Amino acid sequence: MTKILITGAAGFIGYHLVEKLVHLNYEIIGLDSINDYYDVNIKYARLHNCGIENTDIQYNKPVVSSIYPNYSFVQLQLEDRENLENLFEKQKIEKVCNLAAQAGVRYSLQNPYAYLQSNLVGFLNLLEISKNNHIKHFVYASSSSVYGLNSEMPFSVHHNVDHPISLYAATKKSNELIAHSYSYLFQMPTTGLRFFTVYGPWGRPDMALFLFTKAILENKTIDIYNNGEMYRDFTYISDIVEGVYRVIENIPQPNLNWNPANPDPATSTAPYQIYNIGNNKMVYLMDFITELEKQLQKKAIKNFLPMQAGDVKHTRADVTDLIRNLDYKPSTTIDIGISNFVKWYQDYYKL
């Protein structure tokens, strides 16, 4: 079995990726700091579903799942370089999928240093240790937020993305640049994944669908920015995870046609690749809310507000490369995705 390290394993995407890969002949080492950026209880509940009990978790002490014999979990910070190095040496990891990060565009406006530590120092530690341990493929989460001031639609990985409008986005763009330098200098294959507005069961409590659902059910007001004139490429969690799985199995090769006089940002003369993973559809935010109201059978109390700093009006993923290279295109519609989320939410909170 291929041994893969999944960081952010107690997180939204990490949890679903672990659930998929443990059934596909991988040996998984899950890592997470279990910080309190949002309610840790949902993180522990995700781990519980994978056979890891919070009472068994001790910092830097791997725990074997009671459900999946090929899954072990360790609580560890990526900033903890010494213990991270020891983990790689002991576990003989072959591939890395880095989903750990300090998330959230708006939170980065108030807590910038948290992003530098996790998203830059932690990322560099992981890359350097991966290089030293001859990792076969380093896959990492980037974000659609890197497109920043770009207005050309759909967003393409072949567009220039040098104008981020939040620190979170800037750290993700930095990850792509740092990864490229390692691919170029050390021939370490790296692939960056720009995720587009991920939603679904076990989602993050700080994201719109979760916040809206909670507020509507509690008869509270929902805040709608830019007076509702927002469009998002909402991408269902299982579509994201399928894309990540295919990328892990598809090690990037140098682009032999790469032209330094007209450089392609998505590829390189090094084993380096960037993909969008999105639904390739723009959904009007008000239509998204209407669908949620339909599934909840309850109207939202709406509070319309101006645009928030760091936010963008439109996102839509060009997934041409994903289709061509991996024969894959996300396709879950919002009626199915929101329905699945609502059912999970009501079951999780016993409503």
Active site residues: 168
- Would you say 1 and 24 are in contact if contact means Cβ atoms under 8 Å apart? no
* Short-list 309, 261, 256, 278, CA closest to 193: 278
CB contact at 8 A, 30 and 50: yes
User: How crowded is residue 238: how many other Cβ atoms within 10 Å of its Cβ?
Assistant: 16
**Which residues are registered as beta bridge partners of 58?**
61
Residue type for 199, please? Answer: Y
Report the alpha-carbon distance of residue 222 to residue 302 in Å, rounded. Answer: 5
What's the CA gap between 171 and 180, in Å, rounded? 14
Query: 50 vs 97, 113, 273, CA distance in Å?
Result: 18, 32, 31
6/28 Cα distance (integer angstroms): 7
> CA-to-CA distance for 7 and 20, rounded, in angstroms?
15
Q: What are phi and psi of 199, to 5 degrees?
A: -145, 165
> 273: which 2 tokens?
């690749």
By the 8 A CB rule, do 282 and 318 touch? Answer: no
The tokens for 199 are 């939603």
Give the separation between CA 100 and CA 97, rounded to whole angstroms.
Answer: 9
3-state helix, strand, coil in the chain (%, to 5): 40, 20, 40
Write phi, then psi, for 101 (nearest 5 degrees). -170, 160
Pull the structure tokens for residue 45.
């509940």
Q: Alpha-carbon distance 169 to 152, whole Å?
A: 18
